[in-house]
Amino acid sequence: MACQTYPEIMRTRRAFFFTLLLILCNPARTLAASPVGQVAYELNYGGAGDPSVSLRITPKNPLPAPVDLVIPRSYPGGYSFVPYDSFVEDVHAFSPDSKTIACKKDADGPRWAIGQGSEKIARIEYRVNVGRMEDRLRDSVESSKIRKNYVGLLGYSVFGYIDGLQQASVNLQVDGPGDWPVLSTLDPRAIVQKRTVKTQAASYDVLADSQVVMGPGVQFRELPGKIDLLVAVYAERDEDVDAESRLAREALDRVQEYFGDTPFPAYTVLLELLQPREGHEYNFSQEHDTSGTFSLSVDGATNAHSPDSHRYSALFNYAHHMAHSWVPKRVWGVGYRPFNWEMTPVIETIWFNEGFGRYAGTQAIVAGLPEEERKARRERVITRTRGILNDAPPFIKRMPMTLLSQEASFLYATDFRTGMNIFGRGFLMAAEMDDRIQAQTGGKKSMRDAFRALLAWSATNQRAIQVEEMTRIISASTGVEVQDIVARWMEAPLR
């Protein structure tokens, strides 16, 4: 059988995914022609011993049948398939006069078909079994959690949407038990020291990429700054919350200074320090729109016995994921947005998301160090990253950047060879650009200027940036040509 070249493989895959999307799209079940209004979400947690949360979705006006309820199977930056729909139970829908409307689960997809004929849908209700979710999902950062005095919910793991209303504005109400404090990261400066919080989101995407935290087991710290910081810590062992909060504050200040703008008024750190469960994986973190989930084993706690290396590691971890609130949340490449919540999207530019984002976080941290230490730390990171690429299997070394990114869209963490090599290539591309820019400008310009120009472009254009556009912006903003660097890395530089 004839073998395809890599360009032919990529063209074949693009054609396949385009055809697949056409097959999956069902015009009869979209509301694209309907005016986009408001949608009310209500989330309720009843209290100790209940492993589930209850959800209600109420559109501003009753919707004509049929509609589809969709539960995510992927999330931004996850690069994996996560069947959150398998933890959804008791889906019910009701007409304006509270009559029950039929709901049928799709045999394969994460959809419930609701209603038929002349029926009107006034609200949809369901439950999410969070206890079963944590049992089945072994990666600690993929799952929401319910403990005796703590509930930590990842928005995309519990909030579904009515297909066609993703762009509708959202009113969210969260109810907790008794006098539990309740927090939504949609408005982290409004911790509610009682059972109910109300807030808003501009769209479903913003709602889904937020978190809900509640319970007397959570310790809160508020640290004002150019971007206000809220730290919410649930720890199953002693933790110096004040010291941890200072590390997070330092990281956020350095990242904000590096990018130079304040695109959101506040940022939330949700830190979970958990007693390990057999078979589960810990010490992962996940960025969100204006927050981060840092889900660690208790061994990652900060206390009086923590060595200096722990402090630097924690500082870097915070900065890395905070930087993602700029790259790729506010400047992104092909495939990242609009996000496909229903299946793992194919993204061509994970090297930009993860590699450039990681480089920005690294530079933000080392910028605050004395010059010799700054250079030494940066060089150590570059050396480790080159080691990843040098040790890669030959078939990965031969992959052009776009193909490797497409593979990592599904396998980033599952087969971390793809994840390490795609962020490694992006990181080293950015580092090589930075070295050239600083050398040719005598240190007057750097990749920091390039990042700021990219963010300004994105704020104006609000779309994915093409590789060619990115290259031109970096060159124009620094006065240094980088096209040859980009072209070389986009191929397979370590063949």
Cβ atoms of 53 and 153 within 8 Å: the answer is yes
pLDDT tens digits, 369-379: 888 998 999 99
- Structure-block tokens of residue 338: 């609009």
Contacts (Cβ under 8 Å, ≥6 apart) of 78: 142, 286, 412
pLDDT tens digits, 343-374: 999 999 999 999 999 999 999 999 978 889 98
What does the pLDDT average to over 326-350? 94
Question: What pLDDT does 467 receive?
Answer: 97
pLDDT tens digits, 44-102: 999 878 999 999 999 999 999 999 999 999 999 999 999 999 999 999 999 999 999 99
Average pLDDT over all residues of the chain:
90
Please give the share of the chain, as a percent, with pLDDT higher than 90: 80
Give the DSSP H/E element, type plus range, for residue 11. Answer: helix 6-24
Question: Length of the chain, please?
Answer: 495
Question: What pLDDT does 362 receive?
Answer: 95
pLDDT tens digits, 10-20: 444 444 443 44
Q: Residue 102 and residue 109: Cα distance in Å, rounded?
A: 18
Question: What pLDDT does 300 receive?
Answer: 84
- Structure-block tokens of residue 95: 């007409």
Q: Which of helix, strand or coil describes residue 382?
A: helix
pLDDT: which is higher, 190 or 98: 98
Single out the residue of 1, 109, 124 nearest to residue 59, CA to CA.
124
What does the pLDDT average to over 131-140? 94
- Structure-block tokens of residue 235: 């720890």
Model confidence at 307, pLDDT cuts 50, 70, 90, reads: confident
Q: Would you give the end-to-end CA distance of the chain in angstroms?
A: 24
Question: What pLDDT does 495 receive?
Answer: 52
What does the pLDDT average to over 435-443? 97
Question: What pLDDT does 493 receive?
Answer: 59
| pLDDT for 3 beyond 50 | no
* Cα atoms found within 13 Å of the Cα of residue 210, Cβ hemisphere only: 23
- Structure-block tokens of residue 483: 């096209």
Model confidence at 30, pLDDT cuts 50, 70, 90, reads: very low
Point out the least confidently predicted range of 24-38, 310-324, 410-424. Answer: 24-38
pLDDT: which is higher, 210 or 195: 210
Cβ atoms of 343 and 73 within 8 Å: the answer is yes
State residue 357 phi and psi, 5-degree precision: -60, -45
pLDDT tens digits, 203-237: 999 999 999 999 999 999 999 999 999 999 999 98
Single out the residue of 50, 32, 31, 54 nearest to residue 41, CA to CA.
54
What does the pLDDT average to over 276-295? 92
Q: State pTM to two decimals.
A: 0.89
Model confidence at 281, pLDDT cuts 50, 70, 90, reads: confident
pLDDT: which is higher, 88 or 238: 88
Question: What pLDDT does 383 receive?
Answer: 97
Question: What pLDDT does 195 receive?
Answer: 79
Contacts (Cβ under 8 Å, ≥6 apart) of 330: 263, 455, 458, 459
What does the pLDDT average to over 252-277? 96
| pLDDT for 34 beyond 60 | no
